[in-house]
């Protein structure tokens, strides 16, 4: 810590930071309950003001009035591609194509199958998928499901404290699957460096952007990534369970074969042909009919993200996560909080996580007192910082509430001890 870090931070300092914040006005684009400090946008983004209006237009005018004609007149057919193209811009994907469809898990299956097929033709001896033990579990489950289905000796090799990535990338590796920002710790991979290293080892690279897109600048083309997937309901504020995206580098599009080959991915879906013929380009990664209301709302959140320079957003995100860490250092040092998020800004995403032995109860007490973060096994308190709508005073209030919960042992109340389902 430098001397500057030791200067006590005051509430007035945070208020001044908000006043100076060039992005502060974006908060007005969201409807958040009065008085709530919402630090869980990394799990479910907040509601943009335009979301209800968009949904109502789809339900009343498009579905209700124009009915089936809306597939053409309201461009329902184009939605996955139109919103996908916007996300493609957000993630710096100019050297590839992007569509919005289905879920992150399903999209992972599509691109992993495509990647394994490409490798199988070029280097059939490569039968290993490398990922992290600490990756978001559903990513690992989908790999497991595909490997089991294929039943051709594919195996998952997990990087952990005993096996660094550099050692895991042997010549038997077909695909490296990494999540850009770790869901628990908030640790950020250097996408360009890891992609380069994997390519040098002969592996294709698939990035899961769920915890970075919308909060951390992503440059998939610059990093030369092969495939990317991600969700739209976290930092992109698309609404609960809004459809996910999939991006594929142009060099793979002609060869990419994905097995979930439904009508929407057909070259001529309305010819009603018996045989499947994949659409050219990224469109072949579409499968079945999409949930139009949820899909249309996604665009509202994506448009908001596109309206901001992502470097300015990153600057604010880092200022906020740094502020959080410093306040905890300065004001909560006497408590048993262990920071598990990298202090190095180059290695940090947009949330801050601490372990605390009573993490579950502490988070319940925080939530009951208007500070919404979340809890993740084991013992982890997560505080998500969505720079679009979180301010410096929010961070101050969150840390002060945490201090009170710990100082006064508010978390000991029985109602905070009961375990329920956790999101």
Please report, as residue ranges, which positions from 19 to 48 form the binding site for a copy of itself (by CB under 8 A).
31, 33, 36, 38, 40, 43-44, 46-47
Residues between 286 and 305 with contacts to a copy of itself, criterion CB under 8 A: 287-295, 297
In the set 30, 183, 227, 233, the catalytic residue is: 233
Q: Is 307 annotated as a binding residue?
A: no
- Pick the binder of a copy of itself from 212, 258, 321, 353 (CB under 8 A): 258
Given the structure tokens 């001896």, which residue do they identify? 125
139 is in an annotated binding site: yes
Q: How far is CA 59 from the centre of its chain?
A: 28
Q: Do the strands 380-384 and 351-355 form a parallel or antiparallel pair, or are they unpaired?
A: antiparallel
Nearest to 92 by CA among 309, 345, 319, 320: 309
- Is 151 a known active-site residue? no
Taking a C-beta distance cutoff of 8 angstroms, is the pair 293, 55 a contact?
yes
- Single out the catalytic residue among 208, 226, 283, 397: 208
Near a copy of itself in 216-245, by CB under 8 A = 231, 233, 239-244
Angle at 327 between CA 383 and CA 333, to 5 degrees: 100
What's the min distance (Å) between Cβ of 302 and a copy of itself? 15
120 catalytic? Reply is no
Q: Using alpha carbons only, give the angle 130, 132, 134 rounded to the nearest 5 degrees.
A: 160
| Residues 304 and 388 sit within 8 Å (Cβ to Cβ) | yes
Cα separation, 300 vs 170, in Å, equals: 43
Rounded least distance, CB 13 to a copy of itself, Å: 28
SS (H, E, C) 109-159: HHHHHHHHHHHHHHCCCCCEEEEECCCCHHHHHHHHHHHHHHCCCCEEEEE
At 375 the three-state DSSP class reads: strand
Q: Which of 81, 86, 348, 382 is catalytic?
A: 382
Site for a copy of itself in 141-200 (CB under 8 A): 141-142, 144-146, 148-150, 158
Does 72 participate in binding a copy of itself (rule CB under 8 A)?
yes
Alpha-carbon span 207 to 189, nearest angstrom: 10
The token pair at 218 is 């992503």
**Residue 416 neighbours by CB distance under 10 Å:** 19
63: exposed, middle or buried (C-beta count within 10 Å: 0-12, 13-18, 19+)? middle
Instruction: Report the residue from 262, 281, 342, 345 that binds a copy of itself according to the rule CB under 8 A.
Output: 262
In terms of CB distance, is 195 or 298 closer to a copy of itself? 298
Q: Is 234 known to be catalytic?
A: yes
276 in catalytic set:
no
136 is in an annotated binding site: yes
**Is residue 70 a known part of a binding site?**
no
Task: Pick out residues in 73-92 that bind a copy of itself (CB under 8 A).
Answer: 76-77
Tokens for 325?
């860490």
**By CB under 8 A, which span of 18-26, 220-228, 257-265, 399-407 interacts with a copy of itself?**
257-265
For the chain, what is the radius of gyration of the CA atoms? 22
> Among the options 30, 38, 136, 389, which is catalytic?
136
Among 191, 372, 385, 399, binds a copy of itself (CB under 8 A): 372
Per CB under 8 A, the list member of 6, 251, 263, 338 interacting with a copy of itself is 263
- Angle among Cα 144, 147, 149 to the nearest 5 degrees reads 105
Residues 108-147, interacting with a copy of itself (CB under 8 A): 109, 113, 133, 137-138, 140-142, 144-146
**Does 389 engage in binding with a copy of itself (CB under 8 A)?**
no
The answer to whether residue 154 is catalytic is no
Whole-number minimum distance, CB 4 to a copy of itself, in Å?
34
- The minimum distance between CB 98 and a copy of itself, in angstroms, equals 18
Residues 107, 254 contacting (CB under 8 angstroms): no
Q: Phi, psi at residue 132, to the nearest 5°?
A: -105, 140
Dihedral angle over CA of 126, 127, 130, 131, nearest 10? 150
Considering the candidates 47, 54, 86, 234, report the single residue annotated as catalytic: 234
The binder of a copy of itself chosen from 192, 367, 369, 401 (CB under 8 A): 367
Binding-site residues for pyridoxal 5'-phosphate, please? 104-105, 136-139, 179, 208, 211, 233, 263, 289
Catalytic center residues? 136, 208, 233-234, 382
């Amino acid at each position: 810590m430098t001397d500057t870090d030791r200067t006590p931070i005051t509430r007035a300092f945070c208020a001044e930071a908000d006043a100076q914040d060039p992005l502060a006005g974006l908060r007005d684009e969201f409807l958040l309950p009065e008085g709530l400090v919402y630090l869980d946008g990394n799990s479910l983004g907040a509601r943009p003001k335009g979301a209800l209006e968009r949904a109502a237009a789809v339900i009343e005018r498009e579905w209700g009035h124009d009915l089936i004609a809306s597939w053409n007149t309201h461009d329902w057919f184009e939605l996955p591609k139109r919103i996908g193209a916007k996300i493609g811009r957000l993630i710096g994907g100019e050297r590839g194509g992007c569509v919005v469809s289905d879920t992150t898990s399903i999209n992972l299956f599509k691109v992993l199958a495509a990647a394994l097929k490409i490798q199988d033709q070029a280097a059939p001896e490569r039968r290993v998928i490398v990922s992290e033990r600490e990756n978001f579990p559903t990513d690992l489950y989908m790999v497991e499901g595909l490997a089991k289905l294929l039943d051709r000796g594919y195996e998952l090799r997990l990087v952990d404290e005993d096996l660094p990535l550099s050692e895991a990338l042997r010549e038997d590796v077909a695909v490296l699957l990494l999540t850009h920002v770790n869901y628990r710790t908030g640790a950020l991979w250097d996408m360009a460096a890891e992609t380069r290293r994997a390519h040098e080892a002969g592996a294709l690279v698939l990035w899961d952007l769920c915890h970075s897109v919308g909060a951390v600048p992503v440059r998939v083309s610059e990093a030369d990534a092969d495939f990317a997937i991600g969700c739209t309901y976290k930092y992109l504020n698309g609404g609960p369970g809004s459809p996910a995206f999939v991006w594929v580098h142009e060099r793979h599009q002609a060869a990419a074969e994905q097995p979930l080959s439904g009508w929407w991915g057909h070259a001529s879906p309305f010819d009603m042909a018996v045989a499947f013929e994949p659409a050219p380009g990224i469109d072949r990664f579409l499968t079945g009919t999409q949930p139009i209301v949820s899909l249309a709302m996604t665009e509202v959140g994506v448009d908001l993200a596109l309206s901001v320079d992502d470097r300015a957003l990153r600057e604010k995100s880092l200022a906020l996560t740094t502020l959080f860490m410093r306040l905890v250092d300065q004001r909560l040092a006497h408590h048993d909080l262990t920071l598990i998020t990298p202090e190095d800004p180059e290695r940090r995403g947009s949330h801050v996580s601490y372990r605390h032995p009573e993490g579950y109860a502490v988070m319940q007490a925080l939530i009951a007192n208007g500070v919404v973060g979340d809890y993740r096994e084991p013992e982890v308190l997560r505080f998500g910082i969505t720079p679009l709508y979180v301010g410096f005073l929010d961070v101050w209030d969150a840390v002060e509430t945490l201090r009170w919960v710990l100082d006064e042992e508010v978390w000991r109340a029985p109602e905070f001890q009961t375990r329920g389902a956790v999101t």
